[in-house]
Structure 1
Amino acid sequence: MTTGTQSAENICLVGTDTQRARESTNLSRLSLSLFAATCGVSVANIYYAQPLLDAIAASFAIEPGRIGIVVTLTHVGYVLGLLFLVPLGDMLDRRKLIIGQTLLSTGALAIVGTAPTATIFLIGMIAVGLLGVVVQSLVALTATLASPHERGRSVGFVTVGVITGILGARFISGALADMGGWRLVYLVSAGLMLCLSLLLMRVLPRHVQRAHSENYLAILRSMPGLFLRDPLLRSRAILAFLVFASFSTLWTAMVLPLSAQSLSHTQIGLFGFAGLAGALAASGAGRLADRGLGNWTTVAALVLLTVSWLPISLLSSSLVLLALGVVLLDLAVQAVHVTNQSLIFAAHAGSHSRLVGGYMAFYSLGSAVGAIASTTVYEALGWTGVSMLGTGFSLTALVLLVFLGTSRVSSPDA
């Protein structure tokens, strides 16, 4: 009897362990969808301000040439979060970390929406950026939970949510601002983040094996070494800096000439839907990377990115050509981004949180540089200067890729 009971108990334990292993290595469609939705809403918080810069400038009496500081400071907060919050996922309970970030984001958004002064508003935006890195915590978790042969597809699926949030944010914020002012945008988003927090409490897996037992300082110290030792990671991070500088150059400065043409915030936000073609391409780029075609995808995307600035430069002549350029630019940027992530995750299994934190710091720094540079250049040289700036970032990325060659920017087994 005792032996039989012990055997039954052992079978139950093995069954439980097997079930937990399956939970920890596979992602259901429901989990992926919730991860994508949370990423979309969270990243939208960072980009809501872009079509509202003129209204925010008027509200706090900020000069138009300096209003890009709103986007820049938000990305400064994002970089800090990437470097100091995201790596915690390699040592802490990721479930608690992600839920905690979404709940704190709710509070930060409420502060922004009710800020009485420019100082409080800007501090709130830094906090929004800092906590917006829950997106990368979820991307890292997705890479960890997904089976190796589906990692690129799963990361691509979640990235579709990220890109939908980035581009949809402009229409949503424009429409809400036209209805109730720019503050309404952030108060509505605070409510959405609270709802998502409650859903994540129910869906996030409870049995995720931690990748490392290192302490926090050891993890932080290891991050520079990853970049110094690995030319793939280093070169892909530099490409991310350049392509997102080009991306931010367009989306930050575009509101200024379009507002001058008397377009409403809602109308300006509609250009975000044109850019959703990039979201449709994101998962496809991940599948190509899974098949060893990551480098070819990057080359094609960077050529497309450079070419996209030609129709974009004709903004004053044709809004249709501008929309075409937006489609091409966003498709190219996201193809590079998804490919980058797929390649570096495949090359560094077990360090996904610190990897995505370090890599995305370059992404956010590029966005910050593009934001402040584009509004400054627009004030001095107009839209022609902005187009030249965006083309310069894109062309530099393409030249860098050609200069480095395929061996240092593609996966070892590609």
Structure 2
Amino acid sequence: MAITTGMVVANNYYNQPLLADMAGEFEISEAAISDVPMLTQIGYAMGLFLIVPLGDMLKRKKMILIDFAFIIAALISAGMAPGPATLKVSSLFIGLTSVIPQLMIPMAAQLAEDRNRGKAIGTVMTGMFIGILGSRTLSGFIGSYLGWRSMFFIAAGIIAVLWFFLKWKLPEIRPDFKGTYKQLLISIVEQFKTKPKLRLAALRGSLVFASFSVFWTTLIFLLETPVFNMGSREAGAFGFVGIAGAVIATVVGKLSDTMNKNTIIMVSVFIAMLSWVLLGLGAGSIVVLIIGALFLDLGIQAVHITNQTIIFEDNPPERNRINTVYMVLYFTGGATGTFIGGIVWQYFGWTGVSAAGFGFGVLTLLVHLAWKK
């Protein structure tokens, strides 16, 4: 489940180190090409709302295997895109279909015992974070040597191979929900209205992921400046920094089973804010940028894991719909961060990017302090 989560979620992030190459081929601005990751994240949010809740209604394994066919089609379409419009539409559908990780996480919570639920979620989330961050490393190197289009074709091949392993090994879980699809979607709104812990976790998650997205959307543009004179390969290599940080997911999962969750969140948000201070100061130093990226990954991942543990406490039967509420807002925050990152980079450079990332951290802290009880 962790491997599947990592390989599928990677589809949403292959584009980020390749943005400069895409903009150069299509002869459009950096701000215009930043629509590609933004639409991927919007598509992901749409998939979370329209597809993930079906995990409470349909057989999980069958649903996942069918979805894989649509992922492969979207990836091939992106690789063959004749222009930016086709690429953007394909990116929307890549995000829309690559929501399998958000079926796996509630599945892990459902299968785990109460005393090990945080650990189980942390294990699957480790796979997810390694996929998110490793995808950038892989696409950066593939883009540098084979061109950005090759990455999408390779990704389609990876998903095709994974399909056979899932058909062989993934257990089937029968659904809990007995109503119609319309009733299912309506019940998502009810989850949001009736669960204050869920609302707070979703808002915290959306703000920290916005901060995360600001960094990863604009990093390639900073590295291409004369100060560094680097490209997609070096931008992708930053994924190695994040993979080191991703290991913290399992540790945080275990801690969230025993420690005060508000304390974990407070410390994690402060780490993320500190990272932006380092990143702002490191506009001319690759070493400082690497350290800042590591701290940013640590802080964001720790908040996210703790949020997930909170919303799945007591193993509720509507776990997929709860996860839908959380992740829709989470990736809406990511799309917002991507959009704002592209704008502030164009007009204010790395100073504006750093201020925006730090500002999202401040908002997260204020929201948490206001409603943590």
Deviates further, 40-49 or 234-243: 40-49
How big is the shift at 1:62?
A: 2.1
**What CA distance in whole angstroms lies between the structure 1 residues aligned with 2:59 and 2:73?**
22
The equivalent position to 1:242 in structure 2, one of 204, 207, 210, is 207
1:57-96 equivalences in 2 (<5 Å): 57-96=23-62
1:228 aligns with 2:193: yes
1:147 alignment counterpart = 113
Counterpart in the other structure of 1:174? 140
SS in 2 for 1:313: helix
Name the SS for the 1:254 alignment partner: helix
Contact 2:217 2:338 in 1 (8 A): yes
The residue aligned with 1:20 is: none
TM-score, normalising length from structure 2? 0.97
Task: Provide the aligned C-alpha RMSD in A.
Answer: 1.2
| 2:269 is equivalent to residue 305 of structure 1 | no
Equivalences for residues 43-192 of structure 1 within 5 A: 43-192=9-158
Residues 98, 138 of structure 1: 8 Å contact kept = no
TM-score with structure 1 length normalisation? 0.87
Cα distance in 1, alignment partners of residues 162 and 150 from structure 2: 19
Deviation at residue 347 of structure 1 after TM alignment: 4.5
Runs of 4+ in 1 over 6 A off after TM superposition: none
Name the counterpart of 1:411: none
Show structure 2 runs of 5+ residues with no match: none
Kindly state the Cα deviation for residue 290 of structure 1 after the two structures are TM-superposed. Answer: 1.5
Aligned residues: 371
Which 10-residue stretch deviates more, 129-138 or 289-298?
A: 289-298
2:134–2:240: 8 Å Cα contact kept in structure 1? Answer: yes
> Pairwise mapping of residues 373-392 of structure 1 onto structure 2 (< 5 A)?
373-392=340-359
Question: Distance in 2 between the 1:104 and 1:149 partners?
Answer: 37
Tell me, in whole angstroms, the C-alpha distance in 2 between the residues paired with 1:344 and 1:171. Answer: 31
- Worse overlay, 286-295 or 186-195: 286-295
Instruction: Look up the match of 1:254.
Output: 219
Q: Is the 8 A contact 1:174 1:267 kept in 2?
A: yes
Answer whether contact 2:41 2:334 (CA < 8 A) is retained.
yes
1:348, distance to aligned residue in structure 2 (A): 5.3
Task: Tell me the secondary structure at the aligned position of residue 312 of structure 2.
Answer: helix
Deviation (angstroms), 1:354 = 0.9
Give the Cα–Cα distance (whole angstroms) in 1 for the partners of residues 276 and 231 of structure 2: 24
Which stretch shows the higher mean deviation, 286-295 or 360-369?
286-295
What are the Cα deviations for residues 121-167 of structure 1, in whole angstroms up to 9, with x where unaligned? Answer: 11111110001111101112222222222221111101001100111
Q: Which residue of 2 aligns with 1:325?
A: 292
| Structure 2 equivalent of residue 16 of structure 1 | none
Identity across matched positions, percent: 36
Distance 1:188 1:127, change over 3 A: same
**What are the Cα deviations for residues 42-80 of structure 1, in whole angstroms up to 9, with x where unaligned?**
111101111111111112222112221111111111111
| In 2, Cα distance between equivalents of 1:331 and 1:278 | 5
Structure number with bigger Rg? 1
- 2:272, 2:300 within 8 Å by CA — same for their partners in 1? yes
CA contact (8 A) 1:174 1:269 kept: yes
Q: Structure 1 stretch 311-320 or stretch 71-80: which is displaced more? A: 311-320
Which residue is equivalent to 1:360?
A: 327
SS of structure 2 residue aligned to 1:387: helix
- Match status 1:198 vs 2:161: no
